[in-house]
Chains A and B, each alone.
Chain A
Amino acid sequence: MAQETKVAEKVRMLDIYIMGKRYQVPEGLTIMTALEYCGYRLIRGCGCRAAFCGACGTVYNFKNDPTLRYALACQKLVEQDMYLTQIPFFPASKPDYDLEKMESTGEQILKIYPELVTCFGCNNCTKSCPQDLEVMEFMSAAIRGDIKEVAIKSFDCLMCGLCAARCPQGLVPYNIALLSRRLYGRYMAPRSKQIGERIAEIKAGKFDAEIEELQKMGIEQLKRRFDGRKIIND
């Protein structure tokens, strides 16, 4: 307890600016919890609160440093003199396509996203990625038609949209990457033979009798069967 008191005394209040208005918040809050501390009840710009959903992409800079920085509001701790805003939505093109009618050729991406060729390599997309992905590199791979490279390099994308918000050409790297990953997963990744075989076995009723036996078993017998099962670790 003595330790807690010591810490409590140390809590420092920071000045932050939410859309230009000054607030004071205790050190150690994320941008998201700082907004809530200041009295905002979030509807937009808040989702999983754990860096998976991409709802809280945010832009900030500092009182005396105009350089824009990018983060997920649920992950980034507030700092003294931060200027904050939320980008809860940014318009982005999303054409419809039918994956089943597509081919996994390199030209496929350009066919759906012809505007891709207007990328002039400014690298703003990479700089804006809160996941630190090499966005411009996978955009170059997309232009080259290297679907696999796009799929691998973009895999950790949360689709927060900050790259699209900062692209001077109005490109939507996260949607282009999504199409590439879907093409890779559907057509290019090696197929699992076992899955198909198991589905056929299930359809043929191979396991029905044994499952029915378990369902009819008394609880003590079921317990013994459970505790006695062989554990395979790898």
Chain B
Amino acid sequence: MPYPAYMEESIRKVEATRERRLKEELPRIPVGERMPVLKEFHPDFIEAGMRELLVGPNRGDRTPNELADLLEGNSRIDPDKIELSQIDYDVDVLVIGAGGAGASAALIAQENGANVLIVTKLRLGDANTVGAQGGTQAADRPDDSPVLHYLDTVGGARFTNDPKLVEVLVKDAPDAIRWLESLGVNWDKNPDGSMFEVGLAGECVPRCHCCKDYTGLEAMRVVRDEVRCRNINYVEFAPAIELIMDDKGQVAGAVLVNLETNELSLVRAKAVVMATGGIGRLHTQGFPTTNHYGATADGLVLAYRVGCPLVDIDTMQYHPTCAAYPLAILGLLVTEKVRGLGGQLVNINGEQFANPLEPRDVLAASIIRECRQGKGITTPTGEVGVWLDSPRIDVIHGEGTVVRNFPAMVRQFDRFDIDMTKEPMLVYPGLHYQNGGIKFSPNGATPVLGLFAAGECEGGVHGKNRLGGNSTLDLWVFGRRAGRTAAQYAKEVKLGKLTLDHVRQWQRELKEAGLAEVRPISPKLLPDYARQPYDYLADYVTQRLQPGQIKLA
């Protein structure tokens, strides 16, 4: 599906300005002057896309409508039909979610003496982690320092992060890189063994460690293998649909559902690590997403129902550069590393309109502005985007640089007959990351006893705008911390009598607020993309359900 002729015409203009643009560097907007473009064009500031929560610990806070629906949702279970004395798994630490954060939490919890169970909605390692292309930040170059990493991270977020969480993030970073290396991760290196590091947006020194453009996949497949080698028990296709508490107000386990048979099972756990990842498949404000099929904010819903507050849920990260053409890969992530190595953003006339290494919120807003002002390129199916001039990379760094650094992306575009080494890619912002999430502290503990959190489902680390390369770092830093803390906590805690009273209480609150009838069931578990005629079997199936069972969707 090569570009149609009229798009090729615009590409000729991109080519015509390339030589001039080799030396052209647009200034970065000072941190105090970012708000005008954000307020006018960033999706976070569109009033109609958000609303105030009416129940729960964040009552009164604003969040995207799609998330609000689920946070105010009805439980999938009827507590009266669940027999809490019949436990299927009895463990020290339950880890919910099996991406980078969950897997690393499980490894470290086990090292600290805990009997660990991982449960996951899809397969072990099916997570946004594997889609992370660009890399992982860590300040290890002699001309870099954790102080600069700290400054970049808080500045990128307009100083909205939790300073203590950022401090831990940047100070643990080099050790996270070495931990992965010792497990056998193949980091890109220079011939002398030093790390090959790329400068991503908002960084003042190149500090992104990568494994070509398969960074997250490489780390995940290694960590996943280690989980298997150490015989950590894991259950796949078994999402948690509600947390279990005890009569002392401590989190004490979870209710699981077998996605294929609808059978429920119960886990009693002394500590629970929430590591369920992100939110992209909610498609806030109708955006396409870079996210994994399972990214439906389940962990936020579960934590919210046991009274755990969430932070910064009024912001989502829209990655500036996602594929806008061809339609079959709409929303596919085009890694920031393309810009880190010299790819510029240009409009229909081949002109730059923003520094390509602006923080993601600013750059996404700038691209939306350019397109609204009629300087984008419209595809045959009505999508709009701007050019990401990838061929410029080989002009700067020499032929072969693109192929060497972006095997995944070259392959992805080549499947549709687009050669990104020769022609630019058409890009537009897509829903990429949940900046905020479950409130937690540097050791991984949440305000609710027995509940710990790690990875994309927690919040505070990235404030209201995350920098590239800090999400995979977050996984390894806080995954390991949560695993360690949860294992230690599990050694000391005494569980009381198990209860689902919090679910009863939640349903009462919903009813009193007049929401029980109008809100959906949550957690959502999976998006529903099936084009389905009326399901004649649905009623029949519902009637045949065993007590306590639920039908998906």
Minimum CB distance partner of A227 in chain B:
B30
Minimum CB distance partner of B172 in chain A:
A202
Does residue A29 face the partner (Cβ distance < 8 Å to B)? Answer: yes
Knowing A195-B174, A196-B178, say if A30 contacts B411 (CB, 8 Å).
no
Q: Which residues of B contact A110 (CB under 8 A)?
A: none
* Bound Cα distance A227, B183 (Å): 38
* Bound Cα distance A84, B499 (Å): 47
Knowing A52-B130, A227-B31, say if A75 contacts B147 (CB, 8 Å).
no
Does residue A21 face the partner (Cβ distance < 8 Å to B)? Answer: no
Minimum CB distance partner of A230 in chain B:
B204
* Bound Cα distance A46, B226 (Å): 23
Does residue A185 face the partner (Cβ distance < 8 Å to B)? Answer: yes
- Structural contact, B204 and A55, CB atoms closer than 8 A: no
Q: Which residues of B contact A19 (CB under 8 A)?
A: none
Q: Which residues of A contact B529 (CB under 8 A)?
A: 33, 36, 41-42
Interface residues on A, range: 35 or more
- A-contact 0/1 string along B122-157, CB 8 Å cutoff: 110110101100000011111101111011101100
The one of B154, B184, B292, B327 that contacts A222, using a Cβ cutoff of 8 Å? B154
- Structural contact, B222 and A50, CB atoms closer than 8 A: no
Knowing A182-B183, A214-B151, say if A207 contacts B171 (CB, 8 Å).
yes
Does residue B163 face the partner (Cβ distance < 8 Å to A)? Answer: yes
The one of B145, B229, B533 that contacts A39, using a Cβ cutoff of 8 Å? B533
- Structural contact, A96 and B228, CB atoms closer than 8 A: yes
Shortest Cβ gap from A92 to chain B (Å): 11
The one of B130, B212, B530 that contacts A155, using a Cβ cutoff of 8 Å? B212
Contacting chain A: which of B76-84, B189-197, B362-370, B483-491? B189-197
Shortest Cβ gap from A60 to chain B (Å): 15
| B interface, CB within 8 angstroms of A | 30-32, 122-123, 125-126, 128, 130-131, 138-143, 145-148, 150-152, 154-155, 159, 163-164, 167, 170-171, 174-175, 177-178, 181-187, 189, 191-195, 199, 204-206, 211-212, 214, 216-218, 221-222, 225-226, 228-231, 237, 259-260, 290, 292-294, 327-329, 332-333, 378, 380-382, 407-408, 411-412, 415, 526, 528-533, 553
A-B contact pairs, 28 of them (CB 8 A): A33-B529, A39-B533, A42-B530, A43-B237, A43-B526, A44-B260, A46-B293, A47-B294, A48-B126, A52-B214, A53-B130, A75-B329, A97-B229, A99-B226, A131-B411, A151-B186, A155-B212, A155-B214, A181-B222, A189-B189, A190-B191, A195-B174, A195-B178, A199-B174, A211-B147, A223-B31, A223-B159, A226-B154
